[in-house]
Structure formats: C-alpha cells, structure tokens
Amino acid sequence: MIHSSFDGSVKNDGKTNKIVESNLFDHSLFKFNPDMVIFLNMNANIVHINHGFVKALGYTLQEIILTPFERFFPSSEIAHYQKLFTQATAGEVLCAHMTLLQKNGETCSVSLNMIPARFHDQIMGIFVTAKDNTNLIKTEKKVSGM
C-alpha cells in the first residue's frame, strides 16, 4: 500500500508499486470511474478517454481520439478552457464549472478537474475528470421555482 504524507513524500510497501508499474492504477481510473475521464497530451489533444465520456457526449471513440479537447466547449468558453489548460501544464491542479457540447447539440454542465500528470518531475499531460451536473442543476431550478 502507498502511504502519502502532507509534505508530498510517498512510502511504498512494495505491493502497490507493482500495480502502478503495470498500469493497472491508471487503467482502473479510466475503466471503473462513473464520471468522464480524459487524458490530454501537452498539445491539448485527447489521447485517452473512458466510456463515461463517450456515453455523456454521444460521440464515437474514433470521433474523439486525437482531437483538441476545446472542440467540446461552446465558443464562449474556449478562452477560459485554454487559460485553465495553460495553468494545468504549469503544474496547477484546477477545478471549474464548464459546459460541454454533446453530439446531438445539447449541452452538459460539468464540474471539471484538471490534474497535471507528472513523470520524473516533468509534466507529461493532463488528467481531466468531469462530473455531469446537468440533472442536478435542472432539479435545483425546479425546486427553487416552487
């Protein structure tokens, strides 16, 4: 098991290291996460996604892979996304409320997290998770309108 402390140091008991080295750690994040999970390269292109992303937006895998992530934002939010991506590639962990475009023309309100992926102290890409809050927001609007 890996134990981390608040100072960022990591102690490994040896067993977990095998999971991380075999890529099961990242695989589990993508395969079993009910939310959208995306991995962006340093050019902001999508290189890996999970089923949650495909399901939420309605695109096929072939329509998504190696395309710029900004393609899935309304034009009014692209500049904000680009700023977030730049900050993430500089090492910041970020959270934002954004809108994603679905293939059918509808929108999806999400809580977006951007986390730099580091390898030997070098940022190699950005992990993005997005939780679909669309139904929650619709319900809150209905309740507040009563």
pLDDT in tens, 62-88: 999 999 999 999 999 999 999 999 999
Contacts 24+ apart (CB under 8 A), 22-26: none
- Token pair listed for 26: 């990242």
What does pTM read for this prediction?
0.78
Contact 134, 108 (CB under 8 A): yes
- For residue 20, the model assigns a pLDDT of 44
Class of the CATH domain delimited by 34-144: alpha beta
Tell me where in the chain the CATH 3.30.450.20 domain(s) lie: 34-144
Contact 40, 46 (CB under 8 A): yes
Per-residue pLDDT at 59 exceeds 60: yes
d(CA 88, CA 92): 5
| Cα 121 to Cα 24, 117, 139, distances in angstroms | 21, 9, 43
d(CA 139, CA 61): 30
